[in-house]
């Protein structure tokens, strides 16, 4: 029994010696590990929060906004007859350019013309009667009342003739202004009424651009302001001038409807096309702009982090106009300040920072 224990102890001792020889670092593990970690900690540099920053400088700021709009004809109308009747003749072709007052269509009014002829015969007779009665009145052969009846009959017939002539004139459809005829929806021989659509007439030179401006910019839009726009059918930048502004904000969309006008001599711009409108609201020479990523919201406003000697300092700011990528700072930042523009959410006041990229403008 004692020999067995002795052998076990000897075996354990041999194994221990082998392990110590194979792994000498284990001897100093407990003794040196803590100081070594402390030394490594002291040797490791304090990197801080990695950020991108920008040196702020004054720049010219053009407050441009891009809006969606559409093209409208300068004048447009759905052509229709004022009276009902069968179409006698059509004097235009689809897509044709017509001049103001040009005859486009006539309807059959033979019965009305016959009535007009009858009224003219009656008017001739009534005129002769009135002239005879006038002579008799002058010789005191009849009373004034008898003459007045004859005179009234003559004038009544004249009024009826004027009414019938106006009805005949309504059977002739003429162009109310110069422009291009659209597609035709009737044929000769068709029976039409005032509600029947015959065709459309468009005047497209000049052409109108209609768009809506957010209500917060409504005070910056004025009649006479210039805009630029690009239509969906061509990549050409065109200029136009605002000529009319809706006098109220739309209560549903909270936008202000605006119209501008542009020359269209070649008729390349077509009503109904979608356009992208660029509207310049105002310009400022000495503006301080920072990327939107530099702005941090807070309970009572906004702030940025100004970097100085490797340390971030929180600074309250007052904001001005926003664009898609930048924000104007009107108070809180001065020219030459270095402002954090990336990694901002990880920053705290007085935090150490390491600037990875510094932009200077």
pLDDT of residue 305: 94
Q: Which two tokens stand for residue 279?
A: 């509207």
Using DSSP's 3-state secondary structure scheme, residue 168 falls into helix
List per-residue pLDDT tens for the chain, 361 residues long. Answer: 456 666 666 666 666 656 666 555 544 444 444 444 444 444 344 568 899 999 998 887 777 788 999 999 999 999 999 999 999 999 999 999 999 999 999 999 888 889 989 999 998 998 998 888 888 888 888 888 988 898 999 999 999 999 999 999 999 999 999 999 999 999 999 999 999 999 999 999 999 999 999 888 888 888 988 999 999 888 889 999 999 999 999 999 999 999 999 999 888 999 999 999 998 877 777 888 899 999 999 888 999 999 999 999 999 999 887 777 888 898 999 988 999 999 899 999 999 999 888 887 6
Selection from 113, 114, 148, 115 nearest residue 129 by Cα: 148
CB-CB neighbours of 249 under 10 Å? 16
Residue 242: which of 269, 267, 261 has the closest Cα? 261
Q: What pLDDT shows up at residue 285?
A: 75
Tokens of 262: 């542009």
Residue 83, classed as helix, strand or coil, is coil
Q: Residue 89 half-sphere exposure, CB side, CA atoms within 13 Å?
A: 5
Confidence at residue 39, expressed as pLDDT on a 0 to 100 scale: 45
- The domain 84-201 is placed in CATH, from the list 3.40.220.10, 2.60.120.380, 2.40.50.100, 3.40.50.300, at 2.40.50.100
Give the right CATH number for 66-74+204-282 from 3.40.640.10, 3.30.830.10, 2.40.30.170, 3.90.1150.10.
Answer: 2.40.30.170
pLDDT of residue 2: 56
What does the pLDDT read at residue 12?
63
Architecture of the domain whose range is 51-61+286-360: Beta Barrel (2.40)
Determine if the pTM surpasses 0.95: no
CA distances from 147 to 76, 87, 129, 157, 260 (A): 53, 45, 9, 16, 63
| Cα–Cα distance for residue pair 134/151, rounded to 1 Å | 9
């Amino acid at each position: 029994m004692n020999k067995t224990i002795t052998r076990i102890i000897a075996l354990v001792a041999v194994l221990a010696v082998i392990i110590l020889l194979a792994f000498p670092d284990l001897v100093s593990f407990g003794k040196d590990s803590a100081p070594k970690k402390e030394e490594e900690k002291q040797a490791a540099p304090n990197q801080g929060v990695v950020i991108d920053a920008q040196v702020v400088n004054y720049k010219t700021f053009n407050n441009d906004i891009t809006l969606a709009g559409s093209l409208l004809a300068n004048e447009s109308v759905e052509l229709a007859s004022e009276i009902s009747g069968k179409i006698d003749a059509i004097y235009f072709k689809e897509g044709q350019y017509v001049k103001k007052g040009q005859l486009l269509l006539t309807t059959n009014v033979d019965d009305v013309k016959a009535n007009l002829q009858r009224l003219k015969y009656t008017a001739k007779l009534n005129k002769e009667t009135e002239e005879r009665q006038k002579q008799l009145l002058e010789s005191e052969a009849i009373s004034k009342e008898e003459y007045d009846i004859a005179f009234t009959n003559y004038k009544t017939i004249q009024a009826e003739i004027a009414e019938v002539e106006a009805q005949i004139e309504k059977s002739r459809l003429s162009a109310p202004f110069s422009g291009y005829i659209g597609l035709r929806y009737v044929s000769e021989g068709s029976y039409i009424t005032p509600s029947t659509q015959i065709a459309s007439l468009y005047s497209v030179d000049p052409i109108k651009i209609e768009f809506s401006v957010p209500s917060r910019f409504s005070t910056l839009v004025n009649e006479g302001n210039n805009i630029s726009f690009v239509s969906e059918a061509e990549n050409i930048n065109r200029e136009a001038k605002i000529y009319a502004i809706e006098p109220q904000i739309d209560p549903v969309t909270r936008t202000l409807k605006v119209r501008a006008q542009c020359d269209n001599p070649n008729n390349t711009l077509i009503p109904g096309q979608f356009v992208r409108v660029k509207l310049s609201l105002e310009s400022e020479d000495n503006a301080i702009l920072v990327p939107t990523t530099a702005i941090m919201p807070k309970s009572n406003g906004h702030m940025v982090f100004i970097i100085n000697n490797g340390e971030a300092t929180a600074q309250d700011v007052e904001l001005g106009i926003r664009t898609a990528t930048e924000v104007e700072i009107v108070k809180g930042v001065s020219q030459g300040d270095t402002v954090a523009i990336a990694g901002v959410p990880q920053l705290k006041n007085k935090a150490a920072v390491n600037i990875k990229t510094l932009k200077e403008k």
